[in-house]
């Protein structure tokens, strides 16, 4: 029996099953969108819906949640998140 692991979304602040969310990980001063949770490091989670991702970007959740200040890398990651929604 697989154990349900709960995490809080940085966009909507709701607690959900980790499998329903996207993990964003800070590792070696790089950000990774990590949907399969294979990379370890300081991480935040966000729901896989447009509203939560927009709210995460608006509230600067990546910068605050990961305590990371490289604006250029954060912008690139935000664009990748937007594109993640388009992919199946």
pLDDT of residue 74: 87
Structure confidence at residue 35 (pLDDT):
74
Residue 12 and residue 1 in contact, taking contact as beta carbons nearer than 8 Å: no
What residues contact residue 79 under an 8 Å CB cut-off, 6+ apart?
none
Instruction: Report the length, in residues, of the chain.
Output: 88
Go through the domains of the chain in sequence order and give each one's CATH number: 6-86 (3.30.1230.10)
> What is the pLDDT, as a whole number, of residue 1?
61
Residue 10 has a pLDDT of: 94
Residues of the chain with pLDDT under 70: 1, 85-88
**What's residue 88's pLDDT?**
47
What does the pLDDT read at residue 86? 62
pTM, two decimal places:
0.85
The predicted structure's pLDDT at residue 11: 92
């Amino acid at each position: 029996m697989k154990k349900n692991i709960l995490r809080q979304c940085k966009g909507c602040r709701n607690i959900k099953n980790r499998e329903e969310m996207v993990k964003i990980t800070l590792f070696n001063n790089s950000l990774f969108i990590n949907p399969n949770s294979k990379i370890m490091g300081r991480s935040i989670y966000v729901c896989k819906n447009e509203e939560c991702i927009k709210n995460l970007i608006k509230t600067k959740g990546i910068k605050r949640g990961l305590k990371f200040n490289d604006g250029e890398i954060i912008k690139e990651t935000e664009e990748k998140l937007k594109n993640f929604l388009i992919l199946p």
